[in-house]
Amino acid sequence: MDKVTKTIIRYEWTSFVRNKFQLLLLVIIFLFGMYAVYYGTSVVNAQLKTITDVQKIEEDEFHQYQVSFDEELNSADAKRRKDIASDPSYAWFRHGYHAVLPLHTYAALAIGQRDLHPYYHRLTGMSLYYQLFENEIANPVKLYVGNFDLSFVIIYLFPLLIIAFTFGLYSIEKESGVLALLRIQSISIRKIMVTRLLFYFMLITGLALLISLIGLFVSGNMFTNENLLAALVWLTGVILYSAFWFSLMFLIISFFKSSAFNAICAAGCWLVFLLVVPAVLNVWMTTKFPIDTTHLAELTRRTGLENENDKKERAEILSEFLKYNPQYKASDSLLHNNGNAKVYAAFTALKDSHSKKDVDAYSLQIEKRNQWVNQFLWINPAVNMQDTFSLISKTDLNTFLNYQSALTAFHKKITSFYYDRLFWDKPITQEDYSLRPIFKMKENDERWNMVLYSFLKITLISLLFGITGFMKMKKITN
């Protein structure tokens, strides 16, 4: 580093320390970052508590069922517990299994879709879609506004800080009369601007990295094999996103306009990238891929047989059920033993079969929306980075779509476990409880490839802006 560069950096540091407003901005952003870490942690802790509670409920429930096999049947409650534990005609719709979407260690830093979609479901052998689309009551205003997590601070607030610190690096010198003195120096105006921008890049990006490191350490151990890669990728994303905004500001400064022009142009870019483009894409997406959820509302309504005592209706239901489940055709007691339970089990299974076409169409439309929006992420690094942070913390939409697919597979295991005993008139034994289905979800193997692709797009746009500004400034200063 030459003597002139050191002099510029020393000047910028002295100017920064003396500027109380800039110091105040850094303190405010730091406090916002700390609150975002606290807020995200509190949201995740509440979800963890809920997950722990529902898993405890399931554990206690099945423990009671297993204990009932060893109890003496000297009371009505003991007999009822034993019946629910051993009789598949009761167990298929009473035994509840909690499928939980795994919570990543760094989900508190980017809550993403975890406040929009259910992160656990209690499933029985009854209709899957009835249980899947029956949502809890939520505050729509809060869902619309979103969460004040760390990703929000980095994506939305840090660009404003960068704009406030850099919009006048050239114009203020020109308006104050200092520019004439700078022009007679041995160093070029372009190098002065680059050095000053690098100084503020190190300062503001360093603050963003500091807040991120605090958030990463608060959320969990950063140095475990599971978390280390995610933490490093998060920090890399912070650096790249900050570099994008500094390259954009360098391009704006290269026009050598007034402070008012720079401020308005930079603020306009912030509005376009963070508000206008997402809003336009959302309206366009809604128009191009409309979604009708009225048929899904029908799935959450309880329905039953028109006449459960009508033998003809019962026989028709079982006959149609066997078309989808031919493995039970050999059972010679479909209508004799536990007839009501078998008919209702067949009825709920048929309800899912009849609704599958509508649900698949709905899921396909959601997937098309997601794929269509992803095509435009390259023009909006802000939204691109938001999705990247969600990918890192496994709170992205794809994770929830994979979770729903895992729910469907898990429900098939549940129905198979109980239907094999219900339709073949086999009691559930104490040993069968060690064979009961367990929810598992596959890891998204393409997650890191998607993150690297997002980083590549942001890097290319940053280089485009930076090189354009560099060449333009050279042309003007020569």
Percent of the chain with pLDDT over 90: 52
Amino acid letter for position 383: V
What is the per-residue pLDDT for 270? 96
With 0.85 as the threshold, say if the pTM is over it.
Answer: yes
Instruction: Judge whether residue 58 has pLDDT over 90.
Output: yes
Confidence of residue 290 (pLDDT cuts 50, 70, 90): confident
What is the per-residue pLDDT for 307? 66
E strand or H helix at 392, and its extent?
helix 381-392
What is the per-residue pLDDT for 145? 47
**Measuring CA to CA, how many Å separate 288 from each of 137, 291, 345, 364, 368?**
29, 10, 39, 14, 10
Confidence of residue 331 (pLDDT cuts 50, 70, 90): low
Instruction: Judge whether residue 335 has pLDDT over 80.
Output: no
Into how many domains does the chain fold? 1
Domain enclosing residue 252, as ranges: 3-477
The 3-state DSSP class for residue 120 equals strand
Cα separation, 75 vs 109, in Å, equals: 52
The count of other CB atoms within 10 Å of the CB of residue 276 is 13
E strand or H helix at 98, and its extent?
strand 97-100
Kindly report which listed range (329-333, 374-378, 396-400, 457-461) carries the lowest average pLDDT score: 329-333
Residues 89-141: pLDDT tens digits?
A: 999 999 999 999 999 999 999 998 888 888 999 999 998 988 888 654 444 44
The 3-state DSSP class for residue 353 equals helix
Confidence of residue 182 (pLDDT cuts 50, 70, 90): low
